[in-house]
Amino acid sequence: MATASHPSSAVRSGMRVSSFQLPVYQARVILYVGFVVLPIVAGLDKFFHYLVNWDAYLAPIFANTLGVTAHTFMYGVGVIEIVAGLVVMVWPQVGAYIVAIWLWGIIVNLLAIPGYYDIALRDFGLSLGALALGRLSAGDYLVRTGD
């Protein structure tokens, strides 16, 4: 049996290739694990404040309009983030888009706070990663060899 030096050359030659060898599969796994674990960790930390005092990340304009304290609001944020991570875990082709939209909401909030523009930019980058996961999860990227 012939061997291929690169997965894409194996695909072109019609050889069987494990999906684990494909860079597109590896990229999807990296994004999948990240967008399952990170929202859950951030969501749990809304209750424990081990990483940061999340209350400081709520724009005053929203805090004043909501009728609840920033701390109470962040409990709700935590629940939503945990749920979003769990949706990514079981249904990544939908959960990834939920995370992207959630990140855009966070960006709008951060743009209303002077001095948080760098974090808003970072979250925009994260939203692009979530969109990429959604696209990678939508299709069948595994190699079919005509079984």
Q: Quick: pLDDT tens for 76-96.
A: 999 999 999 999 999 999 999
Count other Cβ atoms within 10 Å, centred on residue 66: 13
Write out the chain's pLDDT in tens, 147 residues.
444 445 555 555 566 777 778 899 999 999 999 999 999 999 999 999 999 999 999 998 988 898 899 999 999 999 999 999 999 999 999 999 999 999 999 999 999 999 999 999 999 999 999 999 999 998 755 444 444
What whole-number distance in Å separates Cα of residue 70 and Cα of residue 138? Answer: 36
> Residue 147's pLDDT is what?
40
Q: Assign 3-state DSSP to the chain and report helix, strand, coil percentages, each to 5.
A: 75, 0, 25
Residue percentage of the chain with pLDDT more than 70: 84
> Residue 113's pLDDT is what?
94
In the DSSP assignment, the letter for residue 19 is G
88-to-24, 74, 99, 104 alpha-carbon distances in Å = 18, 21, 8, 17
